[in-house]
Chains A and B, each alone.
Chain A
Amino acid sequence: QSALTQPASVSGSPGQSITISCTGTSSDVGGYNYVSWYQQHPGKAPKLMIYDVSNRPSGVSNRFSGSKSGNTASLTISGLQAEDEADYYCSSYTSSARVFGGGTKLTVL
């Protein structure tokens, strides 16, 4: 069970859109529609932003969207805001287990 692959960092200016990728295998991301995304600010617990590939929990801004193609899932944040600066983690179900990505640090320039 290997961690999902995410870019270490991405950046964007306020108002722009960014996309974070999450690459796995046919045993995890590609095999199930159970990809979720979490936002984590320093010193805080992670917060669920997207579940089941593309669904937003109640209260999460519609600026956050998710998608999947093959073994790669993506999180897109549109209209970047300063408060979006955080670490983002993807996660997938896999054979009765769960696996996280290594995390991506988003910097809002």
Chain B
Amino acid sequence: QVQLQESGPGLVKPSETLSLTCAVSGYSISSGYYWGWIRQPPGKGLEWIGSIYHSGSTYYNPSLKSRVTISVDTSKNQFSLKLSSVTAADTAVYYCARENSGSYSLGYWGQGTLVTVSS
């Protein structure tokens, strides 16, 4: 059974960099699939942030591209998100997920982690 678990600071100061990690169990990232990050501001809808292939190829939301970096560490079986120059608008629950092969649908999700941007 594939399981994903987000971790990272729950509070980040404005203008700093948000960093989250998604630990994967039950499947080896190096075996394939796209792995993605999605966020949801409190009371609002879902927003796709970006995805990374096991080989390291990345695809980002054009509206966030200048501030986002997604990387993969196959030795630790995890992938990470960095979002720079954060503001209060980046306050959200951040989810990591695995895309189904050839479908671009998100079949496995982490439980999500709330990140608040505040001084």
Contact = CB atoms under 8 A, between A and B. Distances in A.
A101 B104 CA distance: 15
Contacts of A3: 45
Contacts of B100: 48, 51
B105 A34 contact: yes
Contacts of B110: 45
A3 B109 CA distance: 21
Main secondary structure on chain A at its contact with chain B?
Answer: strand
Interface stretch (B8-16, B56-64, B75-83): B56-64
Nearest to A89: B46
A48 B106 CA distance: 7
Interface string B84-116: 000000000001000010011111011110000
A91 B47 CA distance: 10
B65 to A, nearest CB: 10
B46 A100 contact: yes
A18 interface: no
Contacts of A86: none
Contact of A98 (B51, B63, B109): B51
Nearest to A96: B59
Interface in A56-109: 57, 89, 91, 93, 96-103
A72 B48 CA distance: 20
B48 A91 contact: yes
Range for the number of chain A residues in contact with chain B = 20 to 34
Contacts of B47: 100
A36 B61 contact: no
Contacts of B59: 96-97
Contact of A52 (B46, B61, B105, B112): B105
A70 B46 CA distance: 24
Nearest to B60: A97
Interface of B: 36, 38, 45-48, 51, 59-63, 95, 100, 103-107, 109-112
Interface of A: 1, 3, 34, 36, 38, 45-48, 51-52, 57, 89, 91, 93, 96-103
Given A1-B63, A36-B103, A48-B105, 17 more contacts: A34-B104, A45-B111, A45-B112, A46-B95, A48-B106, A48-B107, A51-B100, A51-B103, A89-B45, A91-B104, A91-B105, A97-B48, A97-B60, A97-B61, A100-B47, A102-B45, A103-B46
